[in-house]
Structure 1
């Protein structure tokens, strides 16, 4: 016979920033209305993990809502362009700070 299954919650995130872990924890713990249903309907006791990281908080998470997939694609492209320009008015400056070379200079997009 197969060994019994065991749940192993993964709460420690090694890559995400503190703000991202906080938002993810809030979303996982929320009850969302989906038409006539509410999800999750029943997770049981202690089912919602609190995610954490040793990483810095980083920039605050932002929510952007678009009416269509085409508008979303254009919005994402504009945000990427603003990051690559270092546009402080975009609210995105510093999104790659401390990313260990994964930012514009690490990707060949800036002077490094």
Structure 2
């Protein structure tokens, strides 16, 4: 077999040793679509790639992009985190955290009123 090439060994040689990995896309929970558009599109400069609803009047699920940043916004109660705090896990510098805190707020963040037991979220 050494030095012998056929359709089986050629195919096996073409397989990469590691799968290609890409960045993760976070899902952020939103409560107010208008406020979310104002913040992400107007304030941060993201563009909307696509939007989805199962039917009229149902919660929005949308993908936004700005340069290499890609985020999904969801109005579905079970998506995203329950109590996100600005910059808690993703801020890479004190400047980005400060900018996040200085962003305009209108009191749109609210905690979930769900009475589900811990571990069933």
Higher strand share: 2
Computing the radius of gyration over CA atoms, which structure comes out larger, 1 or 2?
A: 2
Is the pair's TM-score, using the shorter chain for normalization, greater than 0.5?
no
| TM-score between the two structures when normalised by the length of structure 2 | 0.23
User: Going by fraction, where is helix more abundant, 1 or 2?
Assistant: 1
